[in-house]
Amino acid sequence: MTATRALLVDAFTGEPCAGNAAGVVPDADDLTEGQMQAIAAELGASETAFVRDSDTADRRLRYFTPETEVDLCGHATIAAHAHLFADGAIDAGEHTLETNVGDLDIEVADDGTVWMTQNPPEIREVDVSYERVAAATGLDEEALRGASDDLPLAVASTGLSFLVAPVTYLSDLGDASPDFDAVEALADDVSAAGVYAFSFDALDSESTLHGRTWVPGAGVDEDPVTGTASGAAGAYLEHYAAFGGDIAEEMVFEQGHFVDRPGRVRVRVQDGAGPRVGGTAVETLDGTLEVPPVDEDEILEA
C-alpha cells in the first residue's frame, strides 16, 4: 500500500473544531504496526483508529497515539463508527467490535449517535495521598479533600484505568496546572493510564459534572473529551452511590472547555455491567495520506 484514505473526525460534538479530534483510517488491513504508528504521528490527533477485519467481531480497531499503541479509546471508537455510518459503510443498528481489551458492543442510532458498551467496571481504592495528587495535578489539596467525604480517590476501569479524583468547585478544576512528569509517575504507581478529575459544579445546568483528563504516559498531556474515562467515572459514581445512590438513567459529562474543545459525553450505567457512552461526531478533514515504506526489520501483518 502506497497511499490510504485518512480522516480527522471530531467526536462528542455536533460542531467542527470542538470535542475531541480522532484520526480515522478506514482501510488499514495492509498496514504494519510501524506504518500505523507513523500515520498516527503524522495526523497528530490524540488517538487514531485503524479499521481492520476481525475473526471474532464485525470489525477490529487498533488505536495509536502519536507515540504508542493504546488498548482502547472511546472518542476514536465513536469517531470511527460515525464516519463509517456517514460514509454508508455500515447501517444503523447493533455492531460488534474487536479491541485489545476484548469484543465490545456498539450501537449506531438512526441519527448517527454512536453508543459504545464498555467492559464491566473494576474499581479499587488506592494508597496515595491527597498531597501527592495535588502536587502532580496542580489541584488545590483542600479542594480534593473537600470532595472526599463519600467519594474517595480510586482507580476505575471499564477497559482502561484512570485515577478518579473528585474536586469541590469548577474554579478549582480550571486552576489546575499539572506537572506532567509527576502525573505520569503517579498514574504508573497506581497502575492507571492517567488521571480523571471532576467536579459536580458544571457549566451547563443539564450536565452532571465537568471533567478533565491527563494521560501524559501515552503522549497525551490533556485529552479534550475522553470516552473511556467518562465510562470509568460513571461506574465510579455508581459504585460509591453518588447522589445517594439515585443515579440518573443518563448522565451528561462535559469536558474540554479549558482547552477550547468543548464536548459532551452521554453516560449510562447499568448496575455493575459495562457502562455505555454515547455521542455524535463531525468530519473535519478527509484526504489521502502517503504511507511510509515498510521497515525492513518489521514483519508485515496478515
Residues that are catalytic: 47
Contact yes or no for 140/134 (Cβ under 8 A): yes
